[in-house]
Structure 1
């Protein structure tokens, strides 16, 4: 799943765990992506820091899984220009008149968030109810290509999309404004604006119709309009932030189609999965277009039991970004979930329950594999009609069968 889809999903999953305090919310939501121990160490943050951590830690935990790279230069860090106060003040200066509370920024070196740049968060009230506004920065590889993260509308399979506008601007930069609806009654709406410049700069704003990423709701829609979101993310006021970023190497990690590191097309993933499923399993990709490189989903049926599978493939995962990708991968495993195979693969198997404490029936099963050649393959299974509603029940495939799919040498390059 691309970073922008995962980022929104994790925020919503964290919100749906309410009314836990922020630290517990973070720990509970992070279990869904297998990063338990790291989050527990960081979840000691309190107050406004924890509010930002809801966003920042989500991105930090996701970044290793999506191959993202936010490189901040040592010179920029030493300069001290990009401070939390700078991020906070700049965001506030770009908002329309209104009341701002609980504002907090984090600059370079002020919070260890690999995979994400300086951030800011606040509560903004235009007179019709407060909403949470979160700004994050990133730098992506250039040139901008079809698979560049954050430059496409979110997949309706992955999120309840109520509307999306994608604009390629005259200079080649891309602006995407997604309007995500509630995933369940009384759950927040999340409107997202992502601006990606031709130099790889990326500014993202998430806003909610609540003062956190979850209920209680404070208004019908988030407070900023599409034009107001556009003004924030495209502002030249963020130029100093990106002067402190090291350029990301051209073509890595999101390489142009056809290169060695290019993510496979959904059709190729589906074809490979079709050859790896156990005998007797019926599979069907559905009628919804699948055009997100590196991932595909399908419905599988075994003896009347139907489940959804999502298969995500990251070629050369973290290579050129992380000096020790396998160590990073394995550090995300909860106790008892990591297996090393004789051929050199690292395999993490997880199951996620419905409750905040992780109890109750399991609703989602996942096998995540880092192959010897650096290819990462994640196969996730659940019962439901789409990628964000989960229902109890026995899955069609066992985790051993998921592991057989994920560990197959057919994925290697």
Structure 2
């Protein structure tokens, strides 16, 4: 991949992850990308919702919590997921993550060791060289190439290192980012929560609690949810009680995307990946970097309404289902999003829903001239189209609504139990009319 394209991909994909990182620093969680701000605190909150809403346009704006990266359902994402100055001399600006671009032969363009941050409120002294050297020191015997990285000069993007590692059986990309999250926040929990297989295609995932109270997630999945290539993506995410977040990813190819597979599996075993992620050296470096900032609303700014909890959304959705369907699986996230897998005797059908407290600022972008306006002022848009995650024959039926107070309810149903698997039935278990009845039900006004 040309250097300019690689940089553009790094920037674009990292925006997904950075929006996720702002969700707790700002005050509200909104999966995916956002755009715009109205005041410092509200701007940060909206950044983690607005772009997601505009780009996704449907219930698929939820993340599944892998590696703190955005993983849209079928996700995902994490997003995951997920603090440095605006200026940088690094060749590759993004942090490592499932959503971040991984190295593919670029040479390091890091800032000189010991150099001070270019600007910004950074405590800092993490250099690209330190990141690269620490990663290399933790790898088993082998050769490395394509080393690149960035230090804490790039606030608010996190320090990262990436390279191609070859143990003699073929090169594989490895990348690592070092971040801080607010301890006990939604982001901290979701970063180490395994995704449901109904949402994210993967072979294995487990989360363990370490002796010091840290949580570690080990994930074995695929770069492409639709299976169009055999690129495997394995990841380890560590979050300490102090909020240090170490995210390591590896692939069985020399780049995350658009590179031929070089080996059957990524070069590090899960035990070796665990060793890299839990190394004390990363915690020492994390202490040098800036802590996540808590944002307070500026004077005269109203506190934005809280998004409803995932559990409350799921309970309400179940209560609104027709009598002839059975819930065979369910899940969601802490706020805004829930999903169900239904079966009416004709096969599994995924249904997912987002309920967002105040989306008035992007109403015009989401609801155009084709929107129907109900007597109470609620706007409704219906969509029928193909699924978005590669399952063969999968269709996606969506009803998107926004009420006069800005509360948005968007629900989608699929003719498969997961977006990334092939269709199991001709149509979803819920009709568009049933989706519409659910989305416009007055009970959503009181869900908290």
Cα 1:137/1:171, change in 2 over 3 Å? same
Partner of 2:208: 167
Distance 1:351 1:107 in 2: 45
Q: TM-score, normalised by structure 1?
A: 0.63
Partner of 1:196: 239
5+ residue gaps, structure 2, are: 20-31, 34-47, 50-61, 64-79, 87-116, 296-305
Q: Do the aligned residues in 1 keep the contact of 2:182 with 2:188 (CA within 8 Å)?
A: no
Tell me the CA shift for residue 222 of structure 1: 1.0
Query: C-alpha offsets along residues 341-384 of structure 1, whole Å, 9 cap, x if unaligned?
Result: 8878787876664799x9x9873344566767776654232222
Partner of 2:438: 405
The counterpart of 2:194, out of the listed 147, 150, 153, is: 153
Query: C-alpha offsets along residues 265-289 of structure 1, whole Å, 9 cap, x if unaligned?
Result: 2xx4343124445xx6732211x46
Q: Do the aligned residues in 2 keep the contact of 1:365 with 1:380 (CA within 8 Å)?
A: yes
Partner of 2:125: 81
Q: Do the aligned residues in 1 keep the contact of 2:172 with 2:262 (CA within 8 Å)?
A: yes
* 1:233 is the counterpart of 2:277: yes
Q: Do the aligned residues in 2 keep the contact of 1:101 with 1:124 (CA within 8 Å)?
A: yes
Cα 1:362/1:174, change in 2 over 3 Å? closer
* 1:176 is the counterpart of 2:220: no
* 1:264 is the counterpart of 2:310: yes
Cα 1:363/1:120, change in 2 over 3 Å? farther
Tell me the CA shift for residue 223 of structure 1: 1.1
Q: Secondary structure at the match of 2:342?
A: strand
Q: Do the aligned residues in 1 keep the contact of 2:379 with 2:401 (CA within 8 Å)?
A: yes
Q: Do the aligned residues in 2 keep the contact of 1:305 with 1:394 (CA within 8 Å)?
A: no
Tell me the CA shift for residue 262 of structure 1: 7.1
Aligned residues: 342
Cα 1:219/1:145, change in 2 over 3 Å? same
Q: Do the aligned residues in 1 keep the contact of 2:325 with 2:344 (CA within 8 Å)?
A: yes
Q: Secondary structure at the match of 1:282?
A: coil
Q: Secondary structure at the match of 2:6?
A: helix
The counterpart of 1:285, out of the listed 327, 331, 338, is: 327
The counterpart of 1:382, out of the listed 414, 417, 421, is: 414
* 1:49 is the counterpart of 2:7: yes
**Within-5 A mapping of 1:66-215:** 77=120, 79=122, 81-82=125-126, 84-108=128-152, 110=154, 117-143=158-184, 148-180=189-221, 183=225, 184=227, 186-214=229-257
Tell me the CA shift for residue 249 of structure 1: 4.8
Tell me the CA shift for residue 225 of structure 1: 1.9
Q: Do the aligned residues in 2 keep the contact of 1:163 with 1:179 (CA within 8 Å)?
A: yes
Partner of 1:244: 289
Larger Rg: 2
Instruction: Quote the RMSD (CA, aligned, Å).
Output: 4.7
Distance 2:162 2:379 in 1: 36
Distance 2:332 2:215 in 1: 18
Cα 1:72/1:389, change in 2 over 3 Å? same
